[in-house]
Amino acid sequence: MKYLSTQEYRHIVRIVGNDILGERKVVVGLTQIKGIGHNFATAILDTLKININSNIGNLTEENVQVIEKLILDPISAKFPIWFLNRRKDIETGSDLHLLTSDIPFTLRNDIERERVAASWRGYRHMSGLKVRGQRTRTSGRKGGAVGVAKGGMAAPVKKGSAGAPAAAGAPAAADAPAAAEEKK
């Protein structure tokens, strides 16, 4: 397939709703699409016989459309099932490859379904704990350290200050003018 064109260089290429800078290499540009990693991008380019090191701005419009078609339906290009990021979908039962905003949406739905079913994984998600059997004794702690706060002794109160109690039997009003004169 011809990947360099006689057409002018495009500074921004739009693939699956994502704007990719034309100066990027094709493999790096494809990985900017959420749901496509380096291995998946390399497999797409190998299938279409496109040079991995060419700039994405040099692709023809036909190449961009073929790449987009392959990204949206990788099963039709005989991609192995293990390459997909959503195998045996619970709702449809089919193998899918999710892209862009479908990934967090599906993840939220899966977690919510487990919470409603009151499964053990759902309880772990609700509590904010680790779900897949990881160690929790020393890792995965959130928040600050819990323990005794470091502190010193309370500062002693000076005699005659505002917070100190008045001396027994001494009038407090009589001492106030004398203390003001001493400070001058």
Does any domain span residue 64?
A: yes
H and E: helices and strands count for the chain: 6, 2
Report the range of poorest mean pLDDT among 22-31, 91-100, 137-146, 166-175.
Answer: 166-175
Which residues span the domain enclosing 51?
12-82
Query: Residues 129-137: what's their mean pLDDT?
Result: 87
Does any domain span residue 17?
A: yes
Report the range of poorest mean pLDDT among 6-15, 55-64, 68-77, 118-127.
Answer: 6-15
Does any domain span residue 3?
A: no
CA distance readout (Å), 42 to 29, 50, 120, 180, 181: 11, 9, 38, 85, 87
CATH assignment at residue 45: 1.10.8.50
**Interval 52-108: pLDDT, tens:** 888 998 888 899 999 999 999 888 888 888 988 888 888 888 888 898 888 899 888
Query: Residues 162-178: what's their mean pLDDT?
Result: 57
Query: Residues 35-52: what's their mean pLDDT?
Result: 92
Q: 30 versus 5: which is more confidently predicted?
A: 30
Can you give the pLDDT at residue 21?
Answer: 92
pLDDT at 154 exceeding the cut of 90: no
Does any domain span residue 133?
A: no
Taking alpha carbons only, the member of 45, 97, 36, 51 closest to residue 66 is 45
Does any domain span residue 20?
A: yes
Taking alpha carbons only, the member of 163, 5, 16, 1 closest to residue 100 is 16
pLDDT tier for residue 125 given thresholds of 50, 70 and 90: confident
Does any domain span residue 102?
A: no
Query: Residues 127-149: what's their mean pLDDT?
Result: 79
Residues of the chain above pLDDT 90, percent: 23
| Residue 184 to residue 164: CA distance in whole angstroms | 22
Does any domain span residue 76?
A: yes
- Planar angle of CA 62, 79, 2, nearest 5 degrees: 25
Cβ-proximal residues to 63 (8 Å cutoff; 6+ apart), any chain: 1, 2, 3, 48, 50
How many domains are contained in the chain?
1
Does any domain span residue 75?
A: yes
